[in-house]
Amino acid sequence: MNVEVRMFMDFKKYLPSDSINGKAEICLKEGSTLEDLLKTLGIPVNQPKIIVINGISQGVSTKVGEQVLKEEDVVSIFPPVAGG
């Protein structure tokens, strides 16, 4: 199955070298989880991040659940940002 990954700021370094504009299509086996995607991209699971799947925020977390991804999901990953 294919999922689209969109990375922002420091997370762009984890994208494949052929990605364009911070986006890449990643092929995963059916039943893969969000954790599987992060491992495929080399992103440390415990690294703080904001994850948005299909426009729905999964929150800021250093833990990744076993959420199963589906064909054509769009996963966006941002670093947490603090403001003042």
- Model pTM? 0.87
Nearest to residue 8, comparing CAs of 39, 43, 45? 43
Percent of the chain surpassing pLDDT 90: 64
Residues 41-71 pLDDT 10s:
999 878 888 899 999 888 766 556 678 999 9
pLDDT of residue 48: 86
Residue 3 binned pLDDT confidence (cut-offs 50, 70, 90): very high
DSSP H helical ranges for the chain: 34-41
pLDDT of residue 22: 93
Using alpha carbons only, give the angle 51, 52, 56 rounded to the nearest 5 degrees: 140
Answer whether 33's CB lies under 8 Å from 68's CB.
yes
Q: What residues contact residue 83 under an 8 Å CB cut-off, 6+ apart?
A: none
Residue 25 binned pLDDT confidence (cut-offs 50, 70, 90): very high
Q: What domains are defined for the chain? A: 2-78 (3.10.20.30)
